[in-house]
Amino acid sequence: MASVDYSGPLTPTGNLRRRRVVDRLARGSATAAAVLAVAILLIFIYSIVQHGASVISLSFLTKNPLETFSVSGNAPVGGIGNAIVGSLLIVAIGTAIALPIGVLIALFLTEFASPRWAGPVRLALDLLYGLPSIVIALFLYGLLVVGHGQAGVYASLALAIIMVPLIARTTGESLGLVPKELRDASLALGISRWRTTVGLTIPSAFGGIVTGTVLAVARAAGETAPVLLLSSLANPTQTSGSVFSQPLNNLPYDIYNFSVEGGATNFAKAWGAALVLVTFVLVANFTARALHARSRRMMSR
Amino acid sequence: MDESPAEVDVTMSQVAAPLAIEVQEASENDAATGEVVFDLHDVNVYYGQALAVAGVSLEIYKNHITAMIGPSGCGKSTIVRSLNRMNDSVSGFRLTGECTYHGNDLYASGVDPVEVRRRIGMVFQRPNPFPKSIYDNIAWAPRILGLKENLDERVEKALRGAAIWDEVKDRLKTSALGLSGGQQQRLCIARSIAIEPDVLLLDEPCSSLDPISTASVEDLMQELKRDYTIVIVTHNMQQAARVAERTAFFSLDVSEGRRTGILVEYDETSKLFTRPTDKRTEDYVTGRFG
Ligand SMILES: Nc1ncnc2c1ncn2[C@@H]1O[C@H](COP(=O)(O)OP(=O)(O)OP(=O)(O)O)[C@@H](O)[C@H]1O
Ligand SMILES: [Mg+2]
């Protein structure tokens, strides 16, 4: 009856040989897919560095672009100075708007809302997250730009709308990781819900909140549609205008502009600006990971 | 390794106690003369539609240790958590019947649950120190409650009161998460008494502790009952017998497929363990329940 000779040598019997082939194939293709993803990223970074590194210089990082548009063909002068400043301003204001709103939404969802309310709010956040940025930009364009003209702060608003669901989600996740026992301990000491949240829950989730915010900043910094529609008609020679009343030059728009301008010099500058932007995004991501790991360690002793 | 030798001595005598249940001698706080702190009358607790505990009536006396024992799921936690309104945040929780504290209805409409918990502290099954320093674990609540004067003394007094001062006095600024489980649990007790509550509710405070730490927490309870009224839930009958003046035995009533917790018998500990009046109590305390 027994199909296996139990006293025989311990080599594969029955269909084990076939199962092992299937196992190898599955493992092999999964590994290959993972390697492919890493390879694409590395190739991508390599080519950006290769094309962009040559134009990076102090003057490229600090001067404004138009100085070269008029003298195309000559050795590159000028650069992306005002685009860096503009991007920083636009993203910083966007973050300042999105951070408190995102954190408050997360607090509402994890600490205060009944399940009946939490569901619809979560759904709304997911839908907001899925909205194409060009649609958000178009909406704000119709609402604010038509009749008034562009301003850097309008782009900040669009970026804030993009960042809020990201921040709310990651904050909510890290608030959810704070053990219920900690909250109970605080409540049992005669401390109110809100005080418990501010004094205990938020500090415990702080690492996660920072991580989520940094990731949202990294995502927002490269968003192109909002800045194209809401903050692109800057006078490129101007070092900085008022972010509240004037469009500001910025990195995604500069990359676009340098590329469509044509000419080897301008194309190299597009790569250079891309290198700056990607460096910022990568640094932000690594920072977020480090902070996340650190806060994990703090929570578990 | 952190335990001092003195503590180990105390422990050994307790751990080595014979398995036969040693009953706490009747203390000067005789039940008949005690002041009533909690008075429950025909209390029913529901979670949603389900009746979790039915018809509980009992009185808890001042400066007594009152133990609650019974099989898992019979509603011990439900009842103690009802005493300081920790169940308020559980969705679907509903309590009927009378539940008074010093004569005031705990569930009357004007009652602020935050104030209730400020007077009736609670220590939980798993030690749950805050991810803060040892000092801040104790000082945090007093600060918020406005008890900021002589905070250092208050912290020291609480830590001494919880018999952990000597072990932590040189590391007050280090994280409380670095303490052993037993030390953490005593820190949690210190945290509760730092705001000088009236009552301490302990829900299986020793269930995650080793025998040595358990003994130190039990010693501590004997000290604390001079100043506080203590209610302790425990699965360990020897522990109830060792520490409590009075013991309540809860059980599960299974009828029509529903499982409802009921209070079977409530009496002086010595009587409940040696001369129980109910057959179910007798079966449980002698280990023959089923
Ligand atoms: N938050 C809750 N929601 C719904 N039902 C609950 C909740 N907490 C407890 N119950 C139910 O109430 C009953 C009593 O539970 P409780 O936790 O009070 O028992 P217990 O005596 O403390 O048990 P244990 O000894 O295991 O801690 C159980 O049937 C349990 O399933
Ligand atoms: Mg319990």
B83 CB-contact burial (10 Å; exposed 0-12 / middle 13-18 / buried 19+): buried
Per-residue tokens: A290 = 């480090």
- Whether residues A181 and B145 touch (CB distance < 8 A) is answered with no
- Whether residues A187 and B86 touch (CB distance < 8 A) is answered with yes
The complex's ipTM?
0.82
Instruction: Indicate the top mutation candidate among B76, B122, B201, B202 to test ligand 1's pocket, ranked by most ligand atoms within 8 A of CB.
Output: B76
Find which of B93, B112, B114, B193 to mutate to test the A interface (most A CBs within 10 Å of its CB). B114
Residue B108 located in a structural domain: yes
Give the CATH number, domain containing residue B99: 3.40.50.300
What pLDDT, on a 0 to 100 scale, did the predictor assign at position A236?
63
Please name which ligand lies nearest the alpha carbon of A184: 1
Q: Residue B90's domain spans which residues?
A: 36-128+197-285
CA distance A94 to A117: 27
Q: Beta B199-203 vs B120-123: how paired, if at all?
A: parallel
Number of domains in chain B: 1
- Whether residues B124 and A185 touch (CB distance < 8 A) is answered with yes
Contact (Cβ atoms closer than 8 angstroms) between residue B250 and residue B262: yes
Burial A16-40 (b: 16+ CB within 10 A, else e): eeeeeeeeeeeeeeeeeeeeeeeee
Residue at B65: amino acid letter: I
Which residue has the least CA distance to atom 25 on ligand 1? B72
From residue A177, how far is each of A209, A287, B137 by CA, in Å? Answer: 12, 21, 20
Please name which ligand lies nearest the alpha carbon of B203: 2
How many angstroms separate the CA of residue B128 from the nearest CA in chain A? Answer: 6
Q: Which residues of chain B have pLDDT under 50?
A: 1-19, 28-31, 290
For B215-237, write each residue's pLDDT tens digit.
888 988 988 889 999 999 999 88
Terminal C-alpha separation, chain B: 41
What pLDDT, on a 0 to 100 scale, did the predictor assign at position A77?
55
Q: Which residues of chain A have pLDDT under 50?
A: 68-76, 301
pTM > 0.80: yes or no? no
For A126, phi then psi, to 5°, come to -65, -40
CA distance A233 to A24: 57
From residue A135, how far is each of A45, A152, A223 by CA, in Å? Answer: 29, 18, 12
Q: Which residue of A has its CA nearest to B82?
A: A188
Per-residue tokens: A217 = 């900043």
What pLDDT, on a 0 to 100 scale, did the predictor assign at position A59?
83
**What 3-state class would DSSP assign to B287?**
coil
Domain locations in chain A as residue ranges: 54-300
- Whether residues A190 and B91 touch (CB distance < 8 A) is answered with no
Which residue has the least CA distance to atom 3 on ligand 1? B47
For A204-234, write each residue's pLDDT tens digit.
888 888 888 998 999 999 899 998 888 887 6
Residue B79 located in a structural domain: yes
How many angstroms separate the CA of residue A125 from the nearest CA in chain B? Answer: 24
Q: Which residues surround ligand 2, an ion (CB under 5 A)?
A: B 77
Residue B83 located in a structural domain: yes
CATH of domain A54-300: 1.10.3720.10
Ligand 1 within 6 A of CB of B74: yes
Please name which ligand lies nearest the alpha carbon of B72: 1
Which residue has the least CA distance to atom 7 on ligand 1? B47
Chain A residues whose beta carbon lies within 8 Å of the beta carbon of residue B121: 188-190
CA distance B57 to B244: 19
For A5-28, write each residue's pLDDT tens digit.
888 888 888 888 899 999 999 999
